[in-house]
Amino acid sequence: MHSPQLRDMVIDARDVTLTLGSGDAATQILRGIDLAVPRGQSVALLGPSGSGKSSLMAILSGLERATGGSVAVAGLDFGALDEDSLARARRGRIGIVLQAFHLLPTMTARENVAVPMELAGVADAFERADAELAAVGLGHRIGHYPSQLSGGEQQRVAIARALGPRPDLVFADEPTGNLDTATGAAIMDLLFERQAAAGATLVIITHDPALAVRCDRVVTLGDGLIVEDRAA
Ligand SMILES: Nc1ncnc2c1ncn2[C@@H]1O[C@H](COP(=O)(O)OP(=O)(O)OP(=O)(O)O)[C@@H](O)[C@H]1O
């Protein structure tokens, strides 16, 4: 098998650095990250607390700018886009699932999934939201508000919201961190299942080695650098 060409990479990050503050107070958070991830791959991002996992995710998802290096994600050259273009371009291409589900409390499950798609210009946003919620096992809860849902159900809504726009890439930051073991395992099954159905690339930040080995590849950060990169 030949190795995938770089143009097939959903993530192509080269020599990415992140320095916060300046002068004597400058802190180097990321110190030269090279990471290429092909379409459809699942990657676990491991590393001790403070090693830079969340910072790298923020840069690769376009929420934060790198100080140096180049970042191309889902065919977008982040360095060439201004803030507005980047925010627009990210919509629909990059999905994010966080530990604290971040659903809007005043919206139903259906609205939480559909409204971001509407904002991204998806014509059949509500129909797609219904289908996506059914796919995560919540077809009977579409009219419920987050406060009426369990933690596991809220994370299912968050997964439906992330996958609804059919993104190229999904980031998940400790997606099971707020859930008990059994619920967390069911959520991970679901996330992998939806990723496979969508043909999306998945990057999961986790402290859990058992979860990491379920991914195709395990990338370990240490002190702002990749210290290990191997097949799971
Ligand atoms: N806004 C900020 N200002 C200053 N330092 C920051 C800022 N954000 C992050 N850091 C520092 O950058 C380093 C990397 O943080 P980051 O959150 O990326 O690590 P992490 O590997 O995700 O950690 P954790 O597993 O604890 O979430 C830490 O030392 C953190 O204190």
- pLDDT, one tens digit per residue, over 109-160 is 999 999 999 988 899 999 999 999 999 999 999 999 999 999 999 999 999 9
**How would you write the pLDDT of the chain (232 residues) with one tens digit per residue?**
445 565 679 999 999 999 999 888 899 999 999 999 999 999 999 999 999 999 999 999 999 999 999 999 998 999 999 988 888 888 888 999 988 889 999 999 999 999 999 988 899 999 999 999 999 999 999 999 999 999 999 999 999 999 999 999 999 999 988 888 888 888 899 999 989 998 999 999 998 888 899 999 999 999 999 999 999 8
Indicate the SS3 state at residue 20.
strand
H/E stretch holding 10: strand 9-20
pLDDT score for 16: 98
CA distance 44 to 209: 9
Q: Which of 54, 56, 219 to mutate to test the pocket of ligand 1 (most atoms within 8 A of CB)?
A: 54
Backbone angles phi, psi at 154, to 5 degrees: -65, -40
Q: Give me the interface pTM, i.e. the ipTM.
A: 0.91
Question: Is the entire prediction scored with pTM above 0.80?
Answer: yes
Cβ-contact 59, 71 below 8 angstroms: yes
Beta strands across the sheet bearing 76-77: 27-38, 9-20, 68-73, 76-77
Cα 231 off chain centre by: 20
pLDDT score for 2: 47
Indicate the SS3 state at residue 56.
helix
CA distance 8 to 116: 27
pLDDT score for 99: 86
Cβ-contact 229, 41 below 8 angstroms: no
pLDDT score for 7: 63
Q: Which of 17, 20, 28, 29 to mutate to test the pocket of ligand 1 (most atoms within 8 A of CB)?
A: 29
227 C-alpha vs ligand 1 centroid, how far in Å? Answer: 17
Q: Residues lining ligand 1, CB < 6 A?
A: 20, 27, 29, 47, 49-55
